[in-house]
Amino acid sequence: MQHNSIRGCVGYPYGRNGRIVMVLQVAKRLSNAYFSFRHSVSDAQRIANTAVEKVVNLSMETSSDILSEGLSQLGSMKRVMTVPEIFAIQSDLWSQVGKSCLGHFQLSMEEVIEAQINLNNLVGHKLEDFSPLLQAVGTGLIQTKNR
């Protein structure tokens, strides 16, 4: 009879076989915790990548829409407008594009920061322990929300 078989450990909480079972249970818990942590890291990375893709796509679509609509209207009105008026309209179009892109960027960064905070809570770190960019953006977003 082998004393180190796991089947022989059932019902023996103490002794050599009982310790083996306890070690195996602890190892299984550690393994589960590790894979849960890895899953959370993967989720945070996926959210960050998705947010970056989203901000690029939305910015491109919005910029294209704003510019094509504005420039087509400007093209039809050029004959009756002065040069300063044309420059003012073009400046306004680019301003709208910039505001739109910043809005998309802010929403996407909020998702990234939320994922980073959740991940930091999981591993017991604060936002300050990580990227200065995330810290600066997080501080800016908090100040914006408090207004």
At residue 81, the pLDDT reads 73
Residue 142: exposed, middle, or buried by beta-carbon count in 10 A (0-12, 13-18, 19+)?
A: exposed
3-state secondary structure at position 10 = coil
Is residue 136 domain-resident? yes
Does 7 fall in a domain? no
Range of the domain at 76: 38-146
To the nearest whole number, what is the mean pLDDT of the chain?
68
**Is 6 a domain residue?**
no
% of the chain at pLDDT higher than 70: 65
Q: What is the pLDDT of residues 111-125, one digit of tens each?
A: 777 777 776 666 655
Spatial distance between the Cα atoms of 13 and 51, rounded to a whole number of angstroms: 50
CB neighbour list of residue 63: distance below 8 Å, 6 or more residues apart: 97, 100, 101
Domain count, the chain: 1
Task: Find the angle CA(110)-CA(122)-CA(113) to the nearest 5 degrees.
Answer: 10
Entry pTM: 0.39
Residue 4 lies in a domain: no
In a domain, 73, yes or no: yes
Cα dist from 56 to 3, 94, 98, 113, 135, whole Å:
62, 17, 13, 17, 22
**Mind listing the pLDDT tens digit for each residue in 31-86?**
777 777 777 777 777 777 777 777 777 777 777 777 777 777 777 776 777 778 77
Is the residue at 8 inside a domain? no
